[in-house]
Structure 1
Amino acid sequence: MRRRFAQYRQTGAYRDGQAVLGFVVIALLFALPILNQNRMVLGVDAFFHLHRFYDAAMQLKTGQFNYFVSLFGFNQSGRIVNAVYGPWFAYLNGLLLLLAGSWVRWQFWSNFIIAFGGLLAGYLALRWAHVRRLYSVAGSMIMVGSLPGLSWFANQAFMSVGAMFIALAVGSGIRMLQQPNRPINPWQMGAVMALGIQVHMLSTLFMLLVLVWFALPAVFRAKRPVLMVLNGLLAAGLALLLSVNVWMPFLHVNMGNRLLRPFIELRGDIPADTLGFTWDGSHNLSLIAMALIVIAVAVLVLRNQCRPRLDFTTQWTLLGGVLLVVAGSQLLPWRMIMKDADNWLSTFQFALRFGIPGLILIVFGLLLWLQQQPIAASSGMQVATLATGVLAMGMLFTPMTDKMATQSDLKTVVGLTAYTRPKLTVKQLVADERRTDLSRLMLDGTQNYPDYLPISKKTATSLTGKDWYTKNGLDQAYLRDIVLNRLPKMKQTVVDGQLHLTWQAKRATTVTLPVVKYAETTLSLNGQMLDKVKLSRIGAPVVKQQAGRNTLILGYQTPGWLPTTQYVAAISWGLLAFGAVVAQLRRFYKEKE
C-alpha cells in the first residue's frame, strides 16, 4: 500500500490534486468575509441577478415552471430574462439558493464556487499552454485576483464569471500555435465555447475574438491546414449542439420581438468607462495588473534583446493582450468612435471590458516568457511568482471588505442603479439577507434595468444612449409601469405555470398593467382573450378594466421543440462527460504503468 502511494505521488495526477486542494482552501478563505460579517456585498448589478436566481429557485421549489417568463422574480411581471441569459446556470443558482436557505449563505457559497472555478479554469488553461504547474497555480491566482475577479466579487457583474471561460479559450488558442500537427482538439474547444454560451453570451464574443486571433497565424503554421479547418468546424458544431437549449430559445424570442439591448454606455456624448488604476484594484486595475502590463510592453519592445530569443507564440500572446488593454483604455478616442450609437462596438457596452481578455492574455504570455528564462528554475523566482499570486488574491479582499465596512447608509449598500423600497434601512436590509423567507429581500429592492423588454419599431429605430438613465429614459418607464405600478388590492399568484393578477377597480377605466407582453405572451382579462392590445413603451399592456374585481391571466405559448432542445443538450453533455472520464482514466493508468 505504501509503495503504491509512493508511486502515485510521482504521477502528474497527484501534483494536480495538490493544486486543486490548494484552490479549495484559497476559495474558502476568499469567501469567508461574507460569513464573518454575515452580510452581503450588493454591487451595481446585484439585484438584477438576485431576481433571476430567485425566480429560478421558486420555480424549482413550487414546481410551477415557465422556461421563458418570470413568474416570481422581477416583481412577477412576466418579463423574459433567464431564457436569454443562461437559463441552466440560473436554475443551478436557484438550486444553490434553496440549499443554502438564505441569501447571505447563498452569496458565501456562490463566491466560493466562482473563486474555485476561476482558479481551476485558469490552472487547466495554463497547463494546456504547457506552463509549469507551480507557475500555473500562481497565474490562476493572479487572474482571479485582478480585473477579471473584481467585477463579480465587488459588483456582481457577470463578466468575471465568463472570464474563467475566456482563460480556457486562451489555453485552446495557444495550443493552435504550439501544436502544428494537431492545432485544434474539437472536443475540448467545442466544450469550452458551449460553457461560455451556457453562462454568459457576451463573454463568448470575447472567447471567439481570442480564438480568431490565434487561428489567423495558426492556419498558416499548421502541418495540415485543411484538417485544422475541419476540426474547427467540428468544434463549432459541437458547441452549438451542447448549447442548443440556449441559442434556440434566444433566437425564438429575438425573432418574434424587438428586444431592448442592455444599456449602451459606449456613446459619443459622454466619456467612456475605460480602464482606471488604483493601487488595490478598486477601479479595475491594481498595482499588480499595471506592473504586468508594463512588463509585457517592455518584453515586446525589447524582444530582439531577449535571451533566449522570444518565440512567436509568446510574442503573439503578449501582443494580443497589450492591444486589448489599449482598446479598453483612454488611449483610444472613444467619444469620436461612438458618435454613432448603432456602432457594433456598443455590443460590448463598456470599453473597460476589453481589458479582461487583455489581462488574461498578458498573464499567459508573461508566464510563457518567464519559464523560458534560466532563472525560472530557481526556487527564489518560483516563490516570488507564487507570492505575487497570493498578493493579487489578497488585494481583491480590499474592495470587498471596504464595501462591507462602509455600509452605514443605503446609498453605499446597494448599486446606484437599484431601486429600494421607501423607508428601507440598512438594518432591515441586512436582516432580510439573513432570513429564510427569500422573498423579503426581493421586496426590498430591484434593478430597474430595462434589458430584453419588448419595444416598438419606432423606439428601436430612434434608440440612443440617452434612452438610459435620463429623466425620460426607458429605465424610468420600467420603474413607473412595472415596479411602482401597484393596482388597488392587487394580488399576484402562480397557477399551472401562469401568472394570475387580480385587483379591484371603482369604475371602468383604462389602466396600465404591471406586466410585460411579448409576441408569444397570452393575456386573458376577465375570461376574455386579448388578441390585440395597446402597449406602453416597454411592453406593458394598456387595457380597459371593469368596475369591481378584475382578473388577468398571463401565460406563454411555449414552442413544441423546447423539451427536445433540453434533452439534446443534456444527453450531449452526458456523453461528452462520460468520454472525458474514460479518456482521463486511460491516461491515468498509462501514466501509472
Structure 2
Amino acid sequence: MKEKTIKLIKQGFPYYLIIIMSCLIISPQIISQGVILGTDSIFHFNRFYETAQQIRYWNFSYFQSNYSFQQSGRIINATYCPLFAYFNGIILLFARSWYRYQIITNLLIYFIGGTGMYKLCIKLHSKQSIALITAFIYMNIGWLPRWELAQNMNAWGAALSPYMIICGIRMIQNSEQPINVLQLMTVMTIIMQIHLLSSVFFVVALIPFFIAGLIHSNNPRLMWIDLLKAVIGTIILTANIWGALLMINLNNHIAYPANFNLFANALRPATFSNNRRFLSFFIWFLFTAQFIFVIRKPHRSSLNTFITSWGFLILILSSVITPWKKFQQWLPFLSHTLQFPSRLTIIAYPLLFAGIAMTITTIVNSTPKYSLSRNSSIGILVVTLLLVFIPTNITISRKVANYYSDALFANLSALAKVSTNKAAIRYSTQSSHPGQLLSLVEKRSPDYLPLPSNYAGNKSKHSYDYQSQIIKNANNFHHTVLKGGKLKLTWTADHSGTKRLPLVTYHESVLTVNGRRVTHYQRSSIGSPYVHEHQGLNTATLRFKPASWFNYLLVIWLISLSIYWVYGSYTFYKHRIA
C-alpha cells in the first residue's frame, strides 16, 4: 500500500508543479481579489450568465437569449459553441460570483495548457525536468494568458493545441496504427465545441502530419479508414453546432463579426512583451537558432526537423513578415474571419517549444554532466522561463490594478454603457448575483444579428444600431421569462400607434402581440420588430421555433453523445486497469 502511494505521488508530481505554476501566474488576482474586465469579458459573461440562469431555473432556450444580452432574444450561444457555454454556466452557478468564476477558470485553462505541453514533450522523449520547464514557459506566453487578461476564446485553442499535436506525432511515430480514432475524434470535438476558428487551425496543422504518417505507415489504407471514422464521428458529435449554423444561415442574413486590420494584428518583435501580438527578440532568436540547428543536420532527428520547420513556417505566417496588407486586399473576408494573424501562434509555439525541448534533451543526454554545452542549454531554458513569467506577471498585476482605479476596464471602445458608479461595478463582480454587473456595463456587438435584406449590404453600423435600438431602449419595457423558453415584454402606451420593440427576431421567431400572432411586420436594421400598440397595457411574447429537421438532428446528436460517453468511459477504464 505504501509503495502504491509513493508511486502515485511520483506520477502526480509534475501535475502538482503545474498547479503551483498556475497559482503563481494568477497570484496577483488571488492576492488583490480583483477581477480583470478585458475586451471580451462582458460579451462572454453574458453568454455564461444566460446558461447559468437557464440551468438554475430549469427553463431552457437553446437559441433565444432570455436572461442576457438585454433580454433581447438574440441568438448567440446556439451558434457560438453552446456546450462550452453551458459548462461555464455550471461553473458560474458553483462559483456564484465573477471573481471566483475567474479564479476557477483561470486555474483550469493554465492547468490544461501546461499539462498538454508537458505530455507533448514527454511524447517526444524529452527529459521530465526539461518537459516541465517547457510547459511552464508555454503557460506564460502568447494567447494562453489571454483568457485571464481578456476572456479571449483563442486562449482555449492554445490550451488544447498540444493535445492536437500529440495526435499528429502519433501519425508519424506509430506505423502500425497511426490514428487513434477515439483520441483524434475527442480532441477535434472538444475544440469545435469551444472555438470553431481554432478547430480550422487544428485541421490545417494536422495535414503535414497525416501526409508524413502515410509515408511511414505500414498500412496506408487503414490510416485512411481510421481518418474517415474520426471525421464522421466528429461531424456527428458536433451536429448541434453545424446544424444550428446551417439552419440560421439558410433563412437569415447573419451579421459578420467585426473587421480588423490584419497587418496591425500580426505578430511583431518586442523588447520584453510576449503577449498575443508581440514576441520578445530573445525568443525570436531562440526559435531561429532552433530552426538553423535542425536544418543544418536534418537527419540527426527527422521528427525534430519536421515539427520545428512546420512550426517556424507558421510563425512566419503569423507575423508582420508575411504581407498581410496584400492578403487583406486579395481576400477581404479574412478581416472578419481570421481577424488576427497572431492567432496562428497557438500552433507555432507548441511546435517550436517541443522542438527546443527535444534539442536540449539531446544535448543533455550526449554531453558530460558538468559540460558547458549542457549547462548552457538548460540555462537558456531557465532564462526563457524568467523572460516570459516576469512580463506576464507584471501585465496581470497592472490589469488587476485597473480594477481598483478609475480606469477599471482594459478597453472601452465597444462598451455602450458603463455606470459612473465604479464602486457599484466592483461590488457586482464580487456579488453572489452576477447579473448585477451585466446591468451596469453593457457592450454592443453585431455577432449573429439578423439583417433584413434591405439592410444586409451595410454591416458596419449594426453594432451602433444595436446600442441605440436595444441597449438604450430595453429599460423602457418589463421583461419576464416564461416557461418553455418564452420571453414576454410588457409596456404602457399613452396612445395607439407603431412601436419598435427591443427584441431581435429571426425567420424562425414566433411573435405574439396582445394575444395575436404577428406574421407580417416591418423589421429594423438589426431585426427588431415594429408592431401596433394600443393605448394602455401591451404585451408581446417571443419564442424561437427551430426547423423540425434540426430537432431530429439534436435527438440524434444527444443519442450519439451518450454512446460516445459510455464507450469512451469503458475504453478509458479498460486502458487504466490493463
Q: C-alpha separation between the residues in 2 aligned to 1:458 and 1:131?
A: 60
8 A contact 1:275–1:285 mirrored in 2: yes
- Quick check: 2:294–2:304 contact (8 Å CA) kept in 1? no
Q: 1:71-470 residue pairs with structure 2 within 5 A?
A: 71-266=66-261, 271-276=263-268, 277-282=270-275, 284-287=277-280, 290-303=281-294, 305-306=296-297, 309-340=299-330, 342-343=332-333, 346-374=336-364, 378=369, 380=375, 381-382=377-378, 385=381, 388-389=384-385, 392-407=388-403, 410-419=406-415, 421=417, 423-457=419-453, 459-460=455-456, 462=457, 467-468=459-460
Kindly indicate whether residue 481 of structure 2 is the aligned counterpart of residue 494 of structure 1.
Answer: yes
Displacement after TM superposition at 1:286 (Å):
4.5
User: Cα 1:291–1:186, aligned 2, differ >3 Å: closer, same or farther?
Assistant: farther
- Structure 1 residues 47 and 2: CA distance shift in structure 2, 3 A: closer
> Counterpart of 2:571 in structure 1: which amino acid?
G
Equivalent positions of 1:466-545 (< 5 A) are 467-468=459-460, 473-486=461-474, 488=476, 490-496=477-483, 497-545=485-533
Determine the C-alpha separation between the residues in 1 that align with 2:509 and 2:83: 22
Report the CA distance shift for 1:282/1:412 in structure 2 as closer, same or farther (over 3 A): farther
1:458 Cα offset (Å): 5.2
| Distance in 2, Cα, partners of 1:547 & 1:401 | 55
Label 1:422 to 1:398 Cα distance change in 2 as closer, same or farther (>3 A). closer
Deviations 1:341-385 (A, max 9, x none): 644574212122122211222112222232222457758455763
Show the counterpart of 1:589. Answer: none
How far the C-alpha of 1:74 sits from its partner, in A, is 0.6
**Once the 2 structures are TM-superposed, how far is the Cα of residue 158 of structure 1 from its aligned partner?**
0.7
Alpha-carbon separation, structure 2, partners of 1:358 and 1:140: 15
What letter matches 2:569 in structure 1?
A
Distance 1:573 1:386, change over 3 A: farther
**Alpha-carbon distance change, 495 to 82 in structure 1, aligned in 2, over 3 angstroms:** same
Quote the Cα distance in structure 2 between the aligned partners of 1:430 and 1:487: 22
The 8 Å contact of residues 491 and 501 in structure 1, kept in 2 or not, is answered as yes
TM-score (norm 2): 0.91
The separation in 1 between residues aligned to 2:446 and 2:488, in whole angstroms, is: 23
8 A Cα contact 2:36 2:399, kept in partner: yes
In structure 2, do the counterparts of structure 1 residues 539 and 340 end up closer, same or farther at CA, with 3 Å as the change threshold?
A: farther
Tell me if structure 1 keeps the 8 A contact 2:170–2:178: yes
The equivalent of 2:50 in structure 1 is 55
Q: Deviations 1:387-431 (Å, cap 9, x if unpaired)?
A: 644653443222111112244655452422342535523222111
Residue in 2 that maps onto 1:33: 28
Q: CA deviation at 1:123?
A: 2.2
Query: Displacement, 1:127?
Result: 3.0
Out of 549, 560, 573, the residue aligned to residue 568 of structure 1 is 560
Alpha-carbon distance in structure 1 between the residues aligned to 2:95 and 2:81: 21
- Quote how far apart the aligned CAs of 1:129 are: 3.6
Which residue identity lines up with residue 576 of structure 2 in the other structure? Q
In structure 2, how many angstroms separate the alpha carbons of the residues matched to 1:103 and 1:2? 42
1:168 shift after superposition: 1.1
2:536 is equivalent to residue 551 of structure 1: no
Gapped regions of structure 1 (runs ≥ 5): 587-593
CA contact (8 A) 2:65 2:75 kept: yes
Return closer, same or farther for 1:182/1:373 CA change in 2, 3 Å cut-off: farther
* Rounded Cα–Cα distance in structure 1 between residues aligned with 2:39 and 2:284: 27
Deviating more after overlay: 509-518 vs 308-317: 308-317
User: Against the structure 1 CA distance between its residues 148 and 280, is the aligned structure 2 distance closer, same or farther, given a 3 Å change threshold?
Assistant: same
Structure 1 residues 240 and 60: CA distance shift in structure 2, 3 A? same
User: After the TM superposition, which of the residue ranges 113-122 and 520-529 deviates more from structure 2?
Assistant: 113-122
Deviation at residue 213 of structure 1 after TM alignment: 2.7
Deviations 1:28-82 (A, max 9, x none): 3333322322221011111000000000111111111101111101111111111
Sequence identity (%): 25
Residue of structure 2 equivalent to 1:580: 572
Unaligned ranges ≥5, structure 2: none
Contact 2:63 2:544 (C-alpha < 8 Å) held by counterparts: yes
Q: Larger deviation: 530-539 or 336-345? A: 336-345
Contact 1:304 1:310 in 2 (8 A): no
Query: In 2 relative to 1, CA 174–56 (structure 1 residues): closer, same or farther, beyond 3 Å?
Result: same
- Of the structure 1 ranges 245-254 and 530-539, higher mean CA displacement relative to structure 2 is found in 245-254
Q: In the alignment, residue 510 of structure 2 is paired with which amino acid?
A: T
Q: Deviations over 1:283-303 (max 9, x none)?
A: 63343xx43432332333354
The number of aligned residues is 566
- The CA distance in 1 between the partners of 2:505 and 2:359, in whole Å, is 55
CA deviations on 1:288-324 (whole Å, 9 max, x unpaired) are: xx43432332333354544x94422222211222222
* Between 163-172 and 187-196, the greater mean CA deviation after superposition: 163-172
Q: 1:108 to 1:143 in 2, by over 3 A?
A: same
Q: Deviations over 1:420-457 (max 9, x none)?
A: 53552322211111111222101011221111111234
TM-score, normalization by structure 1: 0.89
Separation in structure 2 between the aligned mates of residue 359 and residue 411 of structure 1, nearest angstrom: 32
CA distance in 1: counterparts of 2:387 and 2:32, whole angstroms: 22
Aligned residue type for 1:123:
Y
